[in-house]
Amino acid sequence: MDYISVHELKQKLESGTLFTLVDVREPWEHEEFNVGGQLIPVGEIMNRAWELEDHKNDEVVVYCRSGARSGMAQALLQAQGFSNVRNLVGGVLAWKEAFGS
């Protein structure tokens, strides 16, 4: 499994590095706070993986509240042939702890 820290992610976002960011939480969680990712709840990831098809060989970073659901999403996407999926360690909780909300 490949991981990314909140500090690495923040650096990527600030530098304009091209990658795909996916929030796998529920819509209400995304509305409450997010770091800019496309919303695809983990329960819908298998049915909506086609939305990310153009990024199958690109870096895809998935995040959730704590890293557990995004870990599941990471495994599901990898099973669908996505070659470079990274899970945000600690999720939004770690982001808020490091940078505030």
Q: Which residues are catalytic?
A: 64
* pLDDT per residue rounded down to tens, the chain (101 residues): 599 999 999 999 999 999 999 999 999 999 999 999 999 999 999 999 999 999 999 999 999 999 999 999 999 999 999 999 999 999 999 999 999 87
Owner of token pair 């702890």: 97
Per the structure block, which two tokens stand in for 90? 């600690």
Owner of token pair 């819908």: 44
Sequence spans of domains, the chain: 2-99
Nearest residue to 70 via CA among 21, 31, 19: 21
Is 2-99 in CATH node 3.30.565.10? no
Q: What pTM does this model have? A: 0.96
- Residue 9's φ and ψ, nearest 5 degrees, are -65, -45
